[in-house]
Each structure stands twice: as structure tokens, then as C-alpha cells.
Structure 1
């Protein structure tokens, strides 16, 4: 047996007996995101920071969608705070929860989408659709955008960038961005996220490792080297 064969065996055991967060994320990535979205027009982020929260998976295509995963071992104590952060920046919000615990999570707002995961059948099901919100918070967005990104928004919308320096450019751009109509700003924000250099090189043959490769932002060359090494036989 080679190293990848052993990893696949362990993965299958975890999938049936102990579906931890990695299993949830990787299966959702493979069985939902990669099947429902054309990745040539989308980008997927792993652990996307928003305010004091870190979103499990985020996809930007025509709009922004966030997916927060809760396993059997997770409590609800942080979820309300996470959702409040996500409302400020994402157009659609979904929580992914075990099928056996659906009642615990349906009590949250009706605007929040809920997806269940049955680890026995490896099936994801939308129980409650997310309500789309296109009015994102400029202040929250400014803390996500890089300097050249928020300056490009100002230049794109106003046709030029005003006189500024390294000390005041953040505040100058922030005031101008706050005056952009919400729908227009949301589109510009999504478009900028889509062109960030995130490696979305997902493999069908090695699908058990897609989440690891996304988390490490591995290039195709780095992935090829990883898979080559994992095809070596295990010496017992």
C-alpha cells in the first residue's frame, strides 16, 4: 500500500465513525461547492477572517456566500457572534450542521440558511434558504480590503484617486467608499475578492486532500510534488 492509499483508508474510517470538521469541510467542498459552482468564475477561500471571527468556507462568484460548519462536538456559544460579523459582509449566510441536531439550529434567524449533513449517506441538504443581503458594511469591508484594493475601488467609481499620503489614505478612501451606493460597492468588493491569488486547484483523483491543499494555498506544482511523494509505497 502507498501513503495515499493509507490516507484514503483513514479518511473513510473517519467519514463513517468520527466525522470531524475536516471531513465536513472537505466533503462539502467536493460534493457541494465543486458541483454547484463554475470555479472559472468563482473563488473559494478557507478560513476567511471577518472582524473577530473566522469563516470556515467562503465563495465569491456573482455574490458572496459564507458557510459556517458546526459538528456534533461544537457548541452554540460563539455562533451568534459569528453570524453578526458575517451579516456585515456576506450576501448569503449558511450554517452546516449534523442532521441529528437540526432542531438546535433552526431556532436562529430565518434569514440564515441551514444545510444538514448526514455522514452515513454523505448527503448535504438545504433545509432553510438564506435571505440575500446586498448591502454590506463599508467599515467591515475596509478592514478586509488591502490598500491597493480599496484605492482601486475609489479610482474605479470616482474616475480618479484624490490627493493622499500613507498616513491619511485609509480615512480618505473610507469616507469616499461610504458614499458609494451599496449595490455598486458590493459588486466591486466581490469582483476584487475574485481576483485575489488563491489556488483553487482541486483534484478528483485525490479529493480527500482538497481541503488541505486549499488551506495551504498550494500551487499546481506543489500539489504534484505532494501527490508524487504520497504514491511511494509504505515500507513495513
Structure 2
């Protein structure tokens, strides 16, 4: 399929947007998906008898080609090849866009330890990478960067030796360039607290056997933050 960079390619990337999936989950159909089908002219390629699933597969196969790959393609690769390929859904959980300091982590897998995956697709630059990594170190025991082959040399020059480096190859395989070191001792409990909801922080403290005092709502944030600050970093290795 030939892609018109200005219109068709933009429409293809929106196939996998939250809006499309939300509409389909709630209504069983999506007006946005129908409009994107027309804009991409996929019906002409697939035929009128094609299923919704076939349309998604067709779009995905186009987007996962090197040069077309955006963040969604990398998320899918980690989900399929790491979460489902290495871990078990019974013991592992995946989080999207988890706040860490003044950054948002792309993907986090909790499986006995907290591992973050920062995505640098072909469309991304490495300008913010150093700051992102420093924030992630304060929240996650293991930090990885996954990128295209073109970014690998720049990432090696930017991050320290304890950071894992992974490459999404041209064949849509994940190649580990360097394993991430498990370093729960560097986690900052206060920063972890700022990443959580109040209800989540209370639940964690109670799980750790820490008594949470009954204080007015105006004082609760400060009290919980102080309690978190007194805990050991290893408690938050998950």
C-alpha cells in the first residue's frame, strides 16, 4: 500500500488511539474508526468483506515497518515480547505513562521488581533522555531504554552503565544490547510517594505495617509524605 504522508499515514497512526478503542468498547462501533478507514482507503485494499480485525492487522503491519514506527508500535512490542513472552500475567502487571518525578514513564512492568521502559522511536530525539533517566532511577529498581537501531550509539553515550539498552530491530524483534542492573537501593521513597494517589500510598503503608494517623485532609499529604520518607528504599522494589 502506498501511503500519502500528509493524510493516510496520520490516519493510520490514529487507528490505535484510545478514542477508537473506547468507542468500540462502549458502543460496539466507532465513528472515528469508520472515518479513518475512508481516509486511509484501506477498504479499497482489503475489500468490503474484510473484518475489523483484518483492518487493524493490515494497519499494524504497515506501521511496524522501520521509518513508520511510532510509540504505539514499541509499546506493542514490549507487551507481546516481554510481558507476554517472558513474564506471566498472573504475577506481572503493566502500567502506561506512570508519573516519576517531573517525567512520565512510557511503560512499567511490576513483577517482583519495578522495571521501566523508556521508548525512543524513530521520530523521537534524545534531548530529554538524560533528565528522564535521572527521574526514573528515583522510582524504579531497573531502568531500560528501548529504541530503533539508529539511536543506540547516542543512548550508549548518554546513559550510565546500570541502564539497560534494548533495540527493536528491523524484523520487529527485541534485541538486548545491555541488561539493566537491579538497584532498589537508589529508589527515593519520597519520590515514589509523589507518584501515587493518596489511597494507594495509605494502602502501601498499611501493607508495610506502618500505622497511618487520622488527621484532617489538609494535613494528610504532608503526614503521608513524611511516613514514606522514613521507609527503606528496598520496600519499593515491588
TM-score range (shorter-chain normalised) is: 0.7 to 0.9
1:134 and 2:184 matched: yes
1:84 and 2:138 matched: no
1:105 and 2:155 matched: yes
Q: How many residues align?
A: 186
User: Secondary structure, in 3 states, of the residue corresponding to 2:90?
Assistant: helix
Residues 1-236 of structure 1: pairs in structure 2 closer than 5 A? 1-17=50-66, 18-107=68-157, 108-119=159-170, 121-135=171-185, 136-158=187-209, 160-183=211-234, 185-187=235-237, 190=238
Structure 2 CA distance for aligned equivalents of residues 14 and 153 of structure 1: 40
How many Å apart are 1:91 and its aligned residue? 0.6
> Structure 1 residues 158 and 41 mapped into 2: Cα distance closer, same or farther (>3 Å)?
closer
Q: Is the 8 A contact 2:118 2:145 kept in 1?
A: yes
How many Å apart are 1:158 and its aligned residue? 4.5
Structure with higher RCO (Cα < 8 A, 6+ apart): 1
Structure 2 CA distance for aligned equivalents of residues 123 and 109 of structure 1: 24
Structure 1 CA distance for aligned equivalents of residues 207 and 55 of structure 2: 51
RMSD over aligned CA atoms reads 1.7
> Structure 1 residues 3 and 163 mapped into 2: Cα distance closer, same or farther (>3 Å)?
closer
Q: Write the deviation string for residues 22-49 of structure 1: whole angstroms up to 9, x where unpaired.
A: 1121122112221111111111011112
What are structure 1's unaligned runs of at least 5 residues?
191-236
Structure 1 CA distance for aligned equivalents of residues 81 and 218 of structure 2: 46
Structure 1 CA distance for aligned equivalents of residues 78 and 156 of structure 2: 20
> Structure 1 residues 100 and 157 mapped into 2: Cα distance closer, same or farther (>3 Å)?
closer
Structure 1 CA distance for aligned equivalents of residues 91 and 222 of structure 2: 32
Q: Is the 8 A contact 2:100 2:195 kept in 1?
A: yes
User: Secondary structure, in 3 states, of the residue corresponding to 1:10?
Assistant: helix
User: Secondary structure, in 3 states, of the residue corresponding to 2:146?
Assistant: strand
Q: Is the 8 A contact 2:118 2:146 kept in 1?
A: yes
After TM superposition, the score normalised by the length of structure 1 is 0.73
How many Å apart are 1:55 and its aligned residue? 1.2
User: 2:3 matched to which residue of 1?
Assistant: none
Q: Is the 8 A contact 2:190 2:228 kept in 1?
A: no
